[in-house]
Amino acid sequence: MSLEGLSKDELISKARTFRQQGQNKKAIEAFRMVLEMDPENLDILNEMGLAHIHIGEQSDAIIVFDLAISIAPKDYRGHSNKAEAYLTIGEFEEANTTADTALKILPDNSEIWTKKARALESLLQIQDAINAYNEALKYDSGDPETWKALALCLDAQEKWQAVARAYRIAANLHSKRGEMQDADSCEKFAQMAERS
């Protein structure tokens, strides 16, 4: 099916449909056509970069995210997504450096603090990872995934009461979202930590 002659909005719609269907190469082609019409569209640059990550084209993704960052250095998405691209290929030092660079501009962005924490955790710098997760939670305490990631780091340090607390908070957040299976799982982990 040809994408020629479609309007920018039609191309965006097509690209997003392709991504939902797992047709990332077609999505990237449509995103490229959008960028020919609107080269500084940050939404499209970030979505296109994420499609590249999904099919293992991290170096292409990083180029796209660098472009997004150069257009809008204060938009957290380019920085966060670039760190994610490095995390997915095990370049943890690069992910950490990317997060540090972003945090100089966006010191109160929870998503970037979380990317930094994941990089530090992967580098086995557990206490630094705990500190970074706590920074992330300072700016957004409503994401159960961050609490669970923190719990895993605390688990590595055998801080059982803190582990139980983090899992209970995650369970409560999942519960509020109606995610009962996740809530039950977190509650079980909390109980296990208390028995340790």
Determine the average pLDDT of the residues in 4-31.
94
45-76 tens-digit pLDDT: 999 999 999 999 999 999 999 999 999 999 99
8 Å CB contact between 120 and 132: yes
The pTM for the full model equals 0.91
40-69: burial string, b at 16+ Cβ within 10 Å, e else: ebbebbbbbbbbbbeeebbebbbebbebbb
Q: Crossing angle, helix 144-156 and helix 180-195, to 10 degrees?
A: 20
The domains found in the chain, sorted by start residue, are 8-143 (1.25.40.10), 144-196 (no CATH)
- Gap between the Cα atoms of 154 and 160, Å rounded: 7
Q: What is the pLDDT of residues 128-139, one digit of tens each?
A: 999 999 999 999
